Structure 1
Amino acid sequence: MSVPYAEVIGDPIAQSKSPLIHGFWLAELGVEGRYAHCLVKLDELDEYLERRRSDPDWRGCNVTMPHKLAIMPLLDRIDPLAARIGAVNTVVREADGTLTGYNTDAPGFLEPIREEVDKIHLFRMARVLGTGGAARAIVAALADAKFVVVLAGRDPAKARAMLDELAPGGEHHAIGLDHFADPTDFAFDDREHCFDLVINASPLGMTGQPPLAFDFSHAPPRSVVYDIVTSPLDTGFLQSARAAGFATVDGLAMLIGQADEAFARFFGARPPRDRDAALRALLEK
């Protein structure tokens, strides 16, 4: 008997937590289906898609490095948000066998802060640290949510170009990443009725990477500090933020949020999000 399935592709791929997430949801819902890793090298990507396209049980795949850009010209349709971000992390096989590319990183990033984002604020500002692929999705999501974005990178010119591409016309700012490393005595305005975010969208602080140098005197009062790194889950950046009195969001929240969007497209059901605590316990082992 055929069983619908989806998978995550990349190179390397064994480290992905996606099979644990999707497998947990399938089991909790009692939905017939499976989800697995699939190692696909860059020069095998075209052949992989051609094989899967003809398989009616294949619902699609999540896409990780190094394929998020390379897969785009091989698809039949690109969702407008994915086209704007310039990266695809989810491919869905439609009923007619055509393949559509989506980017679920942007809605996945916003999901854990959605309740606050949906409120009315006098002003919203996000300091985004990093100018890589993940930052592109985050900047697009924040601009659409009416944030003023301060984008910090090693190369401020690259940060400026990214802002001009993804959020043209907004009063956004580009700055060097090292600006935030040293203390400041800047006196912030009253932040009541404002929403401030400080986001590490870089690999800094990840296992095997240098730490992120950020002095929390640069964070306005009542900021929410968000780190998309998942290994380690409790980064030095988040530990320092909590020590300074700030609320924090870890990378697992975004990972689960973006998986939610993909799961619904693959299996036609919403994940049981009332079981998030059990899922997190499984993922943190």
Structure 2
Amino acid sequence: MTHIKRAAVLGSPIAHSLSPVLHRAAYRALDLEGWTYDRFEIDESGLPGFVGTLDASWAGLSLTMPLKRAILPLLDEVSPTAASVEAVNTVVLTEDGRRLGDNTDIPGMIAALRERGVQKVDTAAVLGAGATASSALAALSKICAGPVTAYVRSTARAAEMRGWGERLGVDVRTADWAEAAEALHAPLVVSTTPAGATDALAAAVPDAPGTLFDVLYDPWPTSVATAWAAHGGAVVGGLDLLVHQAVLQVEQMTGRAPAPLSAMREAGEQALGAR
């Protein structure tokens, strides 16, 4: 008899999510029969009710916006990594019914950068100040030796980013979004902004840029990523992040390691190419 184990990604909106493609590819490569991975449109108000229905067949959940903070009160335990940014993107459901929260975005960012040869940088710039930006600061706390400049649109966001810096042990300086073209001269630029927000910066990419980590994957490439590559700079994309954080999720949920990185990336590239 096939052993049924369930997992899913939750969020709102969720129809665009590539997580089912990546996780199902992993299950196939690992010969995990009976494992299913679905997506559910769930907002903050619906989250407690959904989590309350989970039975012993469930292995784990992936969480996207707007649920990464909303899940916190519903968990039995939260990893230090997730607690550092008050954001959980991974829930593992144990045999004894406990709900364990983790954040694989942070180690996923580090792994994606290391894959492209970025081990350490002296300084960095972050574009944006949302939830992904705080995860970026947590990742930069491990690889950036000096200050990180965050380019933001409001004084409130600036204060928020400096607060995250203090909490994560990162020397965060802030600058107004109007000066964002200056960010492109940093050895590592992490763009955490929504689609279209950085398009105007494409013309300002310098002649010999460092590394750009743009967390978007659809649409891809972004205008800045295209200009960056044209000027000879290294580009790390949102699919790189998505695959690396999903690899860690698969390993935690299934107990099987290493997860099949190449098969997952190939499945993600094919799915994006078909859109």
Same-fold status (TM-score > 0.5) = yes
Q: Which residue number corresponds to residue 65 of structure 2?
A: 65
How far apart, CA to CA, are the structure 2 residues paired with 1:181 and 1:28?
Answer: 43
How far apart, CA to CA, are the structure 2 residues paired with 1:277 and 1:92?
Answer: 22
Report how far residue 117 of structure 1 moved: 4.0
1:283 to 248, 261, 271: 271
- In the alignment, is residue 249 of structure 1 matched against residue 246 of structure 2? no
- In the alignment, is residue 273 of structure 1 matched against residue 261 of structure 2? yes
Structure 2 counterpart of 1:244, which letter?
H
- In the alignment, is residue 153 of structure 1 matched against residue 141 of structure 2? no
Q: Which residue number corresponds to residue 142 of structure 1?
A: 140
Unpaired stretches in structure 1, ≥5 consecutive residues = 189-194
Q: 1:41 to 1:241 in 2, by over 3 A?
A: same
Structure 1 counterpart of 2:77, which letter?
R
Report how far residue 8 of structure 1 moved: 0.5
Report how far residue 140 of structure 1 moved: 0.9
Query: Which range is displaced more, 130-139 or 41-50?
Result: 41-50
CA contact (8 A) 1:78 1:102 kept: yes
1:34-88 per-position Cα deviation (integer Å, ceiling 9, x unaligned): 1111222322211111111xx1110110011221111111111111111111111
TM-score, scaled relative to structure 1: 0.84
Q: Which residue number corresponds to residue 9 of structure 1?
A: 10
Q: Which residue number corresponds to residue 47 of structure 2?
A: 45
Structure 1 counterpart of 2:247, which letter?
D
How far apart, CA to CA, are the structure 2 residues paired with 1:265 and 1:146?
Answer: 27
How far apart, CA to CA, are the structure 2 residues paired with 1:176 and 1:261?
Answer: 35
Sequence identity (%): 31
Q: 1:23 to 1:159 in 2, by over 3 A?
A: same
How far apart, CA to CA, are the structure 2 residues paired with 1:179 and 1:221?
Answer: 19
Q: 1:112 to 1:220 in 2, by over 3 A?
A: farther
Q: 1:215 to 1:182 in 2, by over 3 A?
A: farther
Q: 1:144 to 1:160 in 2, by over 3 A?
A: farther
Q: Secondary structure at the match of 2:4?
A: coil
CA contact (8 A) 1:196 1:220 kept: no
CA contact (8 A) 2:7 2:61 kept: yes
Q: For 1:131-280, list aligned pairs within 5 A.
A: 131-147=129-145, 148-168=147-167, 170-181=170-181, 196-205=187-196, 210-214=197-201, 221-269=208-256, 270-275=258-263, 278-280=266-268
CA contact (8 A) 1:69 1:86 kept: yes
How far apart, CA to CA, are the structure 1 residues paired with 2:132 and 2:77?
Answer: 21
Q: Which residue number corresponds to residue 98 of structure 1?
A: 98
How far apart, CA to CA, are the structure 2 residues paired with 1:218 and 1:159?
Answer: 24
Larger helix percent: 2
How far apart, CA to CA, are the structure 1 residues paired with 2:89 and 2:265?
Answer: 25
Report how far residue 21 of structure 1 moved: 0.5
Unpaired stretches in structure 2, ≥5 consecutive residues = none
Q: Secondary structure at the match of 1:213?
A: helix
Question: How many residue pairs were aligned?
Answer: 267
CA contact (8 A) 1:126 1:196 kept: yes
How far apart, CA to CA, are the structure 2 residues paired with 1:6 and 1:276?
Answer: 16
How far apart, CA to CA, are the structure 2 residues paired with 1:178 and 1:198?
Answer: 16
CA contact (8 A) 2:22 2:265 kept: no
Q: 1:246 to 1:38 in 2, by over 3 A?
A: same
Q: 1:277 to 1:224 in 2, by over 3 A?
A: same
Q: Which residue number corresponds to residue 20 of structure 1?
A: 21
1:250-272 per-position Cα deviation (integer Å, ceiling 9, x unaligned): 11100111111111111111221
Structure 2 counterpart of 1:133, which letter?
A
CA contact (8 A) 1:106 1:140 kept: yes
Structure 1 counterpart of 2:42, which letter?
V
Report how far residue 275 of structure 1 moved: 3.0
Q: 1:220 to 1:88 in 2, by over 3 A?
A: farther
TM-score, scaled relative to structure 2: 0.87
